[in-house]
Every structure is written in C-alpha cells, then in structure tokens.
Structure 1
Amino acid sequence: MKKTYSVILATSLVGLGLTGFYAAKSNAEEAPRTEVEQQTEAQQQTESILNVTVTDSKSIQEKMLNAIDNYQSVSGSYRIILTPIGVDETVEFEVQQGKNPRSHVKVENNTKGEIIKETAYDGEFYWTVKHNQKMYKKTKASKENGAASFDKKGPRTSKNEKGEKVFVKRPDPAFSSNAKDVIFPQDYAFWLTPTNHKIVGAEKLLDRSVIVIEGQHEDLILAEKHQATHFKMWIDTETGVLLKLEETNDKNEVTNSIEVLSIEFNKKAKMSTFKAPADYQNMTSSIEKIEFDKTKQSEKE
C-alpha cells in the first residue's frame, strides 16, 4: 500500500521589459523554491518511512517485539490513563540495555501527586519499593532462564492444548518494570494480526519519525477488559518504541491512553546504587528469586 504524493506549483510572472522580466523571475523563484524544497524533502521522508514499513507489514511489529536491540540506553517519562480501572500515572524511567543492563523506574499517582512505586535493578538485585505502603522487596535475579538463552528468531505465538493463543515473550534483561509499556512494547505488538490493522501515515512526534497504525481489537476478552474496540499507535520507526497509544470505544471515546512526555536515547546512564528507605518494612524472603516471564495468554493484563 504505497502512497503517491505530488506538489503542484503555479507561478505567474509579468515583466515590462527584458531586464524587468529576469528580475521579476529571479525574485519570484527564490521564495517559492525554498518552500517547495522543504515540501519535497518532507514528502520524501514520509514516503521513505512508509515504503520501509508498508512493503513488509510485519517489520514494525518485529521492531516492537525486539526494541531492546535498537538502543543501548533510554530515559524519559510517559503518562498512562486507564479509565476502566481509574489509573492516571506518570512513569519516569532510566534504562540501560546491552552488556550491562540496569534500570530505575518511578511511578507517580497523578491524582494524589505522590510517588507510589519505585523499582531498580543493579545487575544482581531487583528492588521493588511501594512507597504508599512503606515496604520493599529485594530479590535476586535468576539467570537460569535469562535473555541470553532466548531465541528471538523462533516463533513468538503458539497455541496450547485448549487451542488458546499463547504469546512467547522475550525476557527483559534490565527488568524495566512499568517502563516496558513504551520502551519494550511487545505486549502491544501482539495486538497486531495480519487482518486487524493498517498503517495510516507517518508523522513527527517528540522530534522522532513515527509510523501511525490504526486497528481493531480481535481479542474479545481484551476488548471487554479495556472497554475498547479500536486502537491507534504511534511507533518510533528507528527503535520500535511506543510513543503514543489511544484505545477508543464504539462512540470514539478514548478509554485508555499512553503518551510519552519526553525521551532520550543512548545517553550515558547516571544510575547510582539503589537503597530502600531505612524506615520501610523489608518483605524479602531469603530464598526468593525473580524469574523471567516468557509466555503470556492473549489478553493484556
């Protein structure tokens, strides 16, 4: 589905003499040329983006499923609103992938204006701090089923003995918690099937080139849970990161949304050693380990 664009320029020149004609022509061409060049450049960028993704409709989904391969580090924030369950939160994140994965994520309740959750991974331990309950857990990350053993070329969907669709999730070596919604959006990539969506355009968002996808929920359980029938995604074309998401119902009312407020890629991480507040209750079990979640049923939790 390749779109073709054209730019039509109409110029009217009137000269009273030979010198005046060339002067008028020169002056008239200088201003429009810059505008046309800008339009042509924007057009070429748009066509280039669309050609990359439309030719192979699965390419953008593959980037979403493997977004962590497309950057070394990422930091920023996003707002998430889930109307059916009364969630309105802002998530701040700093995540490092590659050979030395790390993460630090904070979740703020926008209604109460307070940090309610904080997670951190230092390469060995994963911290979960619930500030609204003044408690924390410090768990050792298991490497037994880690990212190194995951075959990203293998099938990412299958069916169980009941005929239900099962998604094979790629482990996140940085344990980036809530930040995965945008920086590793494989849950949302699984929404895309060969028949339920289409690419509707290319835009600039946060000074990033994005592809815009519109689709309809085929999973009826998910649709009921989210009180939504349709979705629209804005995907960063370079990384597969989700920069914006809107879900709407049959009345075209937005029921759920995610919007990245700021984002930076491949800046040197500033993460320091994490410590839970001294007066918080330690809920850690001495034998507890965190395992990588590799599979998931059809509906998004």
Structure 2
Amino acid sequence: MNNLSVWLANVAFTDTRATYAAGSFQGSFNQNTASNGWHVLGNALCSGPGTACTLQVDHGNGRTGADLVGFDLGFAATSSASDESMSCGFTTPVAGDVAAIQRKMLNAVDNYRDVRGAFHIAFSNNGQDEQVEFAISEENLRSFVRTTPREGAIEESVADGTSALLLYPERSMFQKKRRAPIVQREQARHFFNQACQAVYVARQDRAWAHAAHEVTLPSNYAFWLTGSDSKIVGHEVLLGRNVTSVAGRHDWYSSTKLGATGFKMWVDDETGTLLKLSGTNEHGRIVYAIDVSDIQFDRGVALGEFALDEPAGWTNIE
C-alpha cells in the first residue's frame, strides 16, 4: 500500500476536479481551494502487472498539475500543527472553539447516515460557475452527483464503495473507474514535517461523492481555519439549521490564487457540513461563493437511484 501525496505551491493550479491516477488509485481533488503544502490523497496499490506507481494527471476544468509527487513519504505523524508550530515559527495556536469546528468539518461524513441537497458554487479566478445536486448514503456507501455548469456539459456520477460510473448525458458517453481500498489511519489531519512543510491529510469518503464534497466533506475549507486569525463571529439559523459563522484572512498563497483577502463560512453545528461561504477582495467585493439552497439529513434514500448500470447504446470512453 502506497500513500499518494502531491505538493502544491504554484498558484496557477486552479483545477477544481484534477483527477490523479496511480496504481489502483483514482480520485479527484480540488486544487483551486487547496492550501499550500503536501496533500495526502489516498492509497495506491502498486504491485502486480499494470499497477506500477506512475502518476497520471487528467485535466478537468482548469490548469492541472503538481509541483512534486511522492509515495510513502513518511507522513504518518501523530503530532498536531500546534505541537510543531513553535519549531516551525508559528507561535499562535488555533483557538479552541475554531479547532472544534475544524474537526467537525474534517469528519463530517461521521455525522450523518444520508444527505441530499443542492448548491451553487462560483469562483471568479478560474471561471467556475456550477449548480450541484447530490444524494449520498454514507451508511450504504452510495452516491449520486449531478453537476450543471453555466457553460459546458452536464456531468453525473454514480458510485459505490469500490467503483464509479461517470455519465455525460448530452454526449451519450460514460466511463467506469475503480478505486483502491480505503485505509483510515488515526493521525493528525494537519502537521508540519521535519522541513517545516505543511502536510494535510483529508478524510477519504467511502461513498466517493467528489463534486459534492465542497459541502458534504469540506476538508479544503476546514484547512483554511488552521490560520491563527480565524475566529467565530456569530451563531444563526440557516435553512432551518443552527450554524456557526467563522471568519478569517487568507495567507499569501490562497490570497494570490483566489484573488481574495478574507473569507467567511457558515458551518452546520450538528454535522460540520458547509452551508455557505463567501470570499472578498481588498475592496470588499465578493469574488467566490458557495450557497446551499436545500439540504436534508437522514431522511432515508432509495438504493435504486444509485444503480451502476451501463446505459444501453452509449459510448464507453474507457
């Protein structure tokens, strides 16, 4: 088992669904909102014929890449960011109430059995402007996600714990992908290695609902809260749910890439899902936003809507 990790330091990498493949690992990753540092993506089985650990990167809807790629880089640390902060020049730990919100966001999939909903996401730096609808059963390891961009083709994905069917209905095309087994390790989600480089270890979602993760497992946004200036600024009700609002300032890397100086996020108190997000530039103009229009938890799902049947007459673009 090999841990696949990518290092991001180039602000030009703005792909929201960069697809990495190595060995038996295939997965999408939002480079646009990822923090500067190492990101541990998952496990790649690299043994046997045709499973050598050679990285392939597919372009999605932006500029895709990685400054460095590594396998088994020894990121099994148990120390937290605050434990390492003094030696790496960071002297102010994350406030305890913000750290609690961050932990809930990083582990949101533990806090509901199923969820369905819809949201709009738009980032001006890379032109992302999409409506996303989703139904997820974490209990049964199933998901359905439909992404409708303002410009471009609709994409759908149906997934279970081992494979995903990607559908392009306007072109009558599809493809199937398999994934490596998930091995969840007890370790810090964010820490610094011996070179004082930040390392981020996001949870892998066994239901494989990647495009929905902006809301349902908002790891990238949770890692933004590592900055010591993040603070809780309010409590309110949004979509009938109790939420906590957190505000902070971007570091140089995210600010340069996103064109924003500050952010505010609204996090569901019970589940850690993200219900609203906005980022503003130095003039106070909103330059990115996520707005959830509907979300329902633990209402039950029909497993029939997660069928991975290949559409008859469609072209397999394997």
Q: Which residue of 2 aligns with 1:181?
A: 214
- Matched pairs, number: 222
Match of 2:230 among 197, 207, 220: 197
Deviation at 1:88, TM superposition (A): 1.5
Question: SS in structure 2 opposite 1:84?
Answer: coil
4+ residue runs over 4 A deviation: none
Whole-angstrom CA distance in 2 between matches of 1:175 and 1:262? 21
Contact residue 112 and residue 138 of structure 2 kept, 8 A: yes
Match of 1:101 among 141, 158, 161: 141
Match of 2:165 among 127, 133, 138: 127
Deviation at 1:83, TM superposition (A): 1.4
Question: SS in structure 2 opposite 1:267?
Answer: coil
> In 2 relative to 1, CA 138–199 (structure 1 residues): closer, same or farther, beyond 3 Å?
same
Q: Which residue of 2 aligns with 1:247?
A: 279
Whole-angstrom CA distance in 2 between matches of 1:211 and 1:85? 28
Contact residue 160 and residue 208 of structure 2 kept, 8 A: no
Question: SS in structure 2 opposite 1:56?
Answer: helix
Whole-angstrom CA distance in 2 between matches of 1:200 and 1:103? 33
Q: Encode CA deviations 1:175-199: one digit per residue, 9 max, x unaligned.
A: 0011011011111100002512111
- In structure 2, stretches of 5+ residues that fail to align are 1-94
Contact residue 154 and residue 168 of structure 2 kept, 8 A: yes
Task: State TM-score, norm by structure 2.
Answer: 0.65
Q: Which residue of 2 aligns with 1:208?
A: 241
Whole-angstrom CA distance in 1 between matches of 2:213 and 2:277? 14
Match of 2:197 among 150, 164, 171: 164
Whole-angstrom CA distance in 1 between matches of 2:313 and 2:210? 24
Q: Which residue of 1 aligns with 2:270?
A: 238
Contact residue 175 and residue 317 of structure 2 kept, 8 A: yes
Match of 1:62 among 85, 103, 113: 103
Q: Encode CA deviations 1:251-288: one digit per residue, 9 max, x unaligned.
A: 1111110010100000111242133443432122xxxx
- Percent identity of paired positions between Structure 1 and Structure 2: 36
Deviation at 1:245, TM superposition (A): 0.3
Match of 1:263 among 262, 282, 295: 295
Deviation at 1:135, TM superposition (A): 2.9
1:28-39 equivalence runs, <5 A: none
Match of 1:275 among 304, 309, 318: 309
Q: Which residue of 2 aligns with 1:21?
A: none
Whole-angstrom CA distance in 1 between matches of 2:296 and 2:316? 34
- In structure 1, stretches of 5+ residues that fail to align are 1-53, 285-301
Deviation at 1:136, TM superposition (A): 2.1
Q: Which AA in structure 1 matches 2:210?
A: S
Find out whether 1:116 has 2:157 as its counterpart.
no
Q: Which residue of 1 aligns with 2:129?
A: 88
**Higher share of residues assigned helix:** 1
Q: CA RMSD in A?
A: 1.9
